[in-house]
């Protein structure tokens, strides 16, 4: 009687499938897409506390692990991009803000109004203000600061919740080498006060 070669066990096949799935997931997370959770209200109303977002890690080039800078297909973020980056004062923390100035731009804020290269930036439908008070520049850079020129390889960022955001007005520029990627979609959102999902936010693109 002819003997048939033994088939791979179901256990081995399952292990191989799991290993492949894990490797693919790690590759996607490392090179393509990463998930983040929004912990604060600095980007209201664009992003709510409890939003879970996806970040395109290839938007500004391929980030090679252990080298810390975009090396393939890199490009500079543009005005209005919502980016995730390592906080300049503590690289273990990730921040999310909107780009309002790129290298070479002259940024100034006068009585809460953003000016770029001497022109008032009017198309800021995403920007929100909750405090009617205006601080003099001697007291705080929140409402009045600059003008400053954004250095080469740097970005000037601000939160959409302009009156309640820790951003470049307070701690300076973002180095493009510290970029994690561009936020592009909300895949889950949880309302912690009402203890329920925000179904209407699921799948919304970030702009």
Q: What does the pLDDT look like over 24-47, one tens digit per residue?
A: 555 555 558 899 999 999 999 999
pLDDT of 181 higher than 60: yes
Kindly state the percentage of the chain with pLDDT values over 70: 79
The predicted pLDDT at position 50 comes to 97
The predicted pLDDT at position 76 comes to 87
Average pLDDT over residues 136-157: 96
Contact between 100 and 158 under an 8 Å Cβ cutoff? The reply is: yes
Q: What is the pLDDT of residues 50-108, one digit of tens each?
A: 999 999 999 887 665 555 554 455 688 999 999 999 999 999 999 999 999 999 999 99
pLDDT of 2 higher than 60: no
Domains of the chain: 34-201 (2.10.109.10)
The predicted model scores a pTM of 0.82
The predicted pLDDT at position 1 comes to 47
Q: Where are the alpha helices (DSSP H) in 52-193?
A: 168-171
List the beta bridge partners of residue 175.
154
What residues are labeled active site?
Answer: 42, 97
Give the span between the Cα atoms of 13 and 24, in whole angstroms. 17
Q: Given the structure tokens 């705080």, which residue do they identify?
A: 140
């Amino acid at each position: 009687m002819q003997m048939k070669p033994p088939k791979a066990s179901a256990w081995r096949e399952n292990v191989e499938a799991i290993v492949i799935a894990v490797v693919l997931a790690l590759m996607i997370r490392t090179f393509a897409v990463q998930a983040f959770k929004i912990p604060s209200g600095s980007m209201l109303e664009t992003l709510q506390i409890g939003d879970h977002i996806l970040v395109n890690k290839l938007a500004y080039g391929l980030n090679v692990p252990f080298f810390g800078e975009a090396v393939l297909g890199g490009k500079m973020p543009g005005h209005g991009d919502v980016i995730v980056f390592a906080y300049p004062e503590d690289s273990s923390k990730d921040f999310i803000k909107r780009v309002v100035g790129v290298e070479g731009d002259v940024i100034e804020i006068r009585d809460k109004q953003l000016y770029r290269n001497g022109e008032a930036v009017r198309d800021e439908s995403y920007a929100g203000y909750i405090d009617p008070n205006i601080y003099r520049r001697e007291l705080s850079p929140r409402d009045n600061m600059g003008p400053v020129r954004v250095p080469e390889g740097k970005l000037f960022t601000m939160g959409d919740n302009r009156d309640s955001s820790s951003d470049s007005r307070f701690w300076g520029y973002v180095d493009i080498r510290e970029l994690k990627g561009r936020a592009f979609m909300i895949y889950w959102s949880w309302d912690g006060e009402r203890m329920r999902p925000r179904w209407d936010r699921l799948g919304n693109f970030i702009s």
